[in-house]
Structure 1
């Protein structure tokens, strides 16, 4: 169960964050949901709103090699024989500060058999007139270099209409093709001529997405990538992030449980792609005493 529920608000935005998983349980603007919420005290469903570290997405079979040593982390997605979404999404975090419009939490990730490294992970949440801002700072407090990656796991809501009617815009040139059963990454594929070309706004329709996108173009004149999701009724939600996250995982929440099926679009800006602990692609090697920062913002349209 969630150990705490901490609320912050400003400029029409209101958010609730749980102490377990540092998860954003609810985010609204002028009373409208921008993220798929879950109930107070409810276990976090489908990593909804959680902070993910020290790796995003999956490590097939939970096995990887780092520094010439083969390591194995626990399998927590048995249907795909994968280690999914790191080690901090369902554990208690310590509250560092809680003010009207900002909240800070911390988790000390102790060395374990499969991840023998020590990290100090701080997350800050701030709301202001420009939206809901998140920053994740991970510091290597151990004696050895550590592999590292992070992402958030919010499910965005454009409005009251069905997800199939929403329009998505994301200037991404390629996506990572995966195997149909275990979603193991295969190769980068151009979005040209595929249902995954959202460089101009496109209706989601019945398309099922559970893929990582990259070759992300930033907003002209700025240093951030922007994703926009719009409901045909006129409402919408946007998410922006910096170049610390050159990848983004999108998932249309296709689910075997009817009440969770396609209820929102998971948007996960990632510092590295799936299985980066094995491929090394965009993997952060966090040296002792150093800190890595990544951040993103959600705002109403």
Structure 2
């Protein structure tokens, strides 16, 4: 019997000049190429996925500060999966192997279940579909609450976009967001909203410009949408090649990270891709009552479902 690769069962999708591989562990986008060019930072099939690269985040994206939250009057304590900062990071399914329930040459639907557990005592069934066309790779995530009480919910992807050779410093970013969520420098705990003009050199990319040496690991909101209701973030290189990610109103937030590593250039992963993560809710949204702004926290009533989606596409 063939051994399953460390990143889980592999699902190859092809359409025109595009190819993507979805790894079963975390329903992760492992590779995505267009005409042989990487649109996301890849990783090997027989490799433990580096961090959350390409993972589907559920039942929350980003952080629950201190791993503690109150929902419907009850305090819950989550495992601290970001121990150096003391938070619960990126949900409960990123290291779960999803099962394929539908598959074709250019699409796959995967499913997993968040089982009731300490810190999250609800059962939520999750299905995600990746569909590849010549124009882009579309992912949807649907959650259904199979519990008898309401459950907090949030989701998002974690791709690191690539714009050709080089590093983040060499690329141009267009990010149509007017507001940034400020955080503490050591633990990245949210402190409040500010205009991107609070530090325009670091945060304001409403007009496309080079990223340069800016270090970003922040969430943005107040997103400008086109006539069809879509937000599009682009990253391009000097040759005009790059990648875009777009999404609709189901995601009012986006986390952007320049992939800075603690050991800097000594790390092969330092600034090799730009994480652009549409999110249905803000960081620490499970502590919604703590903040004087709309975090976007979703509450799934018993039997209710919610779907969110986004598309990564080539530029050039």
Instruction: Please give the alpha-carbon distance, in whole angstroms, between the structure 2 residues aligned to 1:119 and 1:188.
Output: 31
The correspondence for 2:299, drawn from 259, 281, 285, is: 285
Aligned-pair distance for 1:129?
2.5
| Structure 2 match to 1:259 | 268
SS in 1 for 2:84: helix
What runs of 5+ residues in structure 2 fail to find an aligned partner? 1-5, 290-294
CA contact (8 A) 2:142 2:305 kept: yes
Which range moved further: 242-251 or 3-12? Answer: 3-12
| Structure 1 match to 2:211 | 204
SS in 2 for 1:35: coil
Which 4+ stretches in 1 moved above 2 angstroms?
none
Per-residue CA deviation, residues 144-200 of structure 1 (Å, 9 max, x unaligned), is: 100000010000001113210100001100000000011000111101252211110
Per-residue CA deviation, residues 241-273 of structure 1 (Å, 9 max, x unaligned), is: 010000000000001351010000001000000
The correspondence for 1:178, drawn from 173, 183, 206, is: 183
Per-residue CA deviation, residues 48-73 of structure 1 (Å, 9 max, x unaligned), is: 00000111111111000001000001
State the Cα RMSD in Å: 0.9
Q: Structure 2 matches for 1:125-274, cutoff 5 A?
A: 125-192=130-197, 194-195=200-201, 196-219=203-226, 221-256=227-262, 258-274=267-283
What runs of 5+ residues in structure 1 fail to find an aligned partner? none
| Structure 2 match to 1:296 | 310
Aligned-pair distance for 1:88?
0.4
Instruction: Please give the alpha-carbon distance, in whole angstroms, between the structure 1 residues aligned to 2:166 and 2:115.
Output: 44
The correspondence for 2:75, drawn from 70, 76, 81, is: 70
Instruction: Please give the alpha-carbon distance, in whole angstroms, between the structure 2 residues aligned to 1:65 and 1:163.
Output: 38
Aligned-pair distance for 1:111?
0.4
CA contact (8 A) 1:9 1:100 kept: yes
TM-score (norm 2): 0.93
The correspondence for 1:81, drawn from 73, 81, 86, is: 86
Aligned-pair distance for 1:113?
1.4
Q: How many equivalent residue pairs? A: 300
| Structure 2 match to 1:113 | 118
Which range moved further: 178-187 or 272-281? Answer: 272-281
Instruction: Please give the alpha-carbon distance, in whole angstroms, between the structure 1 residues aligned to 2:25 and 2:53.
Output: 12
| Structure 1 match to 2:53 | 48
SS in 2 for 1:79: coil
CA contact (8 A) 2:130 2:137 kept: yes
Instruction: Please give the alpha-carbon distance, in whole angstroms, between the structure 1 residues aligned to 2:84 and 2:184.
Output: 14
CA contact (8 A) 1:161 1:233 kept: no
SS in 2 for 1:42: coil
Instruction: Please give the alpha-carbon distance, in whole angstroms, between the structure 1 residues aligned to 2:177 and 2:77.
Output: 33
SS in 1 for 2:207: coil
Which range moved further: 190-199 or 106-115? Answer: 190-199
Aligned-pair distance for 1:77?
0.8
CA contact (8 A) 1:6 1:18 kept: yes
Instruction: Please give the alpha-carbon distance, in whole angstroms, between the structure 2 residues aligned to 1:57 and 1:3.
Output: 23
CA contact (8 A) 2:166 2:272 kept: no
